[in-house]
Structure 1
Amino acid sequence: MLVTLPIGMWVFSLAADFIALRSGAADTWHAAALYTMVGGIIGALAAAVFGLVDLLSLRDPPIKSIAIKHMSINLVVVVLYVVNAWTRYHASVSPSVSLWLSVIAIALLLVSGWLGGKMVYEAGVAVHASDTAASTDS
């Protein structure tokens, strides 16, 4: 559940950037984008702790390889957002550069999400057998 918060915040941050392009209150939308971006960074770091625990518990080499790719992409996404937030806060780049950093980060997040889904739905990573049995009994 922890991963939904940063993903939602980062997607909203990108939406706020797009709204700022057409809004008469662009500064307000840029501020909303920055704050949700920072919230997403904090949420992602919290989720990363539990992701690392899951990664360390994996024994199957092909699944562990996917998990390492998933983690690596997620860390790149977090770094992109840290750089993005830093440059926004200091107004050291144009809004179009900030927008492109967000677009690239979301594209990477899509790839990472696909890898995460592959681990959960194809390999059952972080899924307890009792949880699966309970959902099919109802």
Structure 2
Amino acid sequence: MDAAAPGPGAAVHSGASFPAMRAAKVPRSLVAGPYGHPFHPVAVTIPIGAWSSSLVFDLLGLAADDPRSFAAGSRRLIVIGLVGAVGASVLGLMDMSRIPKGTPARRTALVHLALNVTAMVLFTLSLVARMLDLARVPMVAFLLSLIASSGLGVSGWLGGKLAYRWGVRVADENTQREGFEKT
């Protein structure tokens, strides 16, 4: 069986001919990115990168004789991640608003949203714990960030499922075909 082919019994619909799917491909507004090129996946690289880097700074701070500079760097990276997450959230909500209610894609988007909000709350709590002890990386703050990052990993997998399996905000197959036709 071809690994790229849908499984047995899978319904095959073209994005162009299946209205519920077509709706999820069209941007809410130009702010969300043009058709076939959403901005949400680009925007999420800011919080993911900042928070991943903050964990590296945490590990260095936990191992260092003088952890102050690593602790300060980690705090700054968490703030950058939180600011970036707000922007990514707005774009994600715009994309989610186009997914029809009552669909598996909508339920997946809601779990994706809940995991991301939880991560933002945990990183905020981690930042508060860090502000109470500026001289080092508090273990509770590190653990909160680690838990939040684990949730982000699951959320990212769900976001990939939304885009790559169900084609949310991905151009329909007729548009995609243009990239594979010989001219």
The one-letter amino acid of 1:63's match is: A
Runs of 5+ unmatched residues, structure 1:
none
| Change beyond 3 A, Cα 1:122–1:27 | same
Determine the structure 2 residue equivalent to 1:41: 82
Indicate which of 148, 152, 159 corresponds to 1:105: 148
Percent identity of equivalent pairs: 33
Alpha-carbon offset, residue 134 of structure 1: 5.3
Matched, 1:87 2:129: yes
Q: How much is the aligned-residue C-alpha RMSD, in angstroms?
A: 2.1
Larger gyration radius, structure 1 or structure 2: 2
Q: Which residue identity is paired with 2:82?
A: I
User: Which deviates more from structure 2 when the two are superposed, residues 24-33 or residues 126-135?
Assistant: 126-135
What is the deviation of 1:24? 3.0
Q: What amino acid is aligned across from residue 105 of structure 2 in structure 1? A: I
Does 1:115 find its partner at 2:158?
A: yes
Structure number with higher helix proportion: 1
Work out the number of aligned pairs and report it.
Answer: 138
1:27 aligns with 2:71: no
Per-residue deviation at 1:137?
A: 5.2
Whichever residue aligns with residue 47 of structure 1, its letter is A
CA deviation profile, 1:53-82 (whole Å, cap 9, x unmatched): 111110161100000000000000000011
Indicate if the aligned counterparts of 2:71 and 2:137 stay in contact, CA closer than 8 A. Answer: no
Per-residue CA deviations over 1:7-63 (Å, capped at 9, x if unaligned) read 000000001000112223311000000000010000001000010011111016110
Q: 1:15 to 1:137 in 2, by over 3 A?
A: farther
The letter for the 2-side match of 1:50 is L
Pick one of 118, 126, 130 that aligns with 2:169: 126
Structure with bigger RCO (C-alpha 8 Å, 6+ apart):
2
TM-score, normalised by the number of residues in structure 1? 0.91
| C-alpha separation in 2, matches of 1:96 and 1:108 | 18
Residue 128 of structure 1 and its aligned partner are, at CA, apart by 2.2
Query: How far apart in 2 are the matches of 1:36 and 1:83?
Result: 14
TM-score by length of 2: 0.70
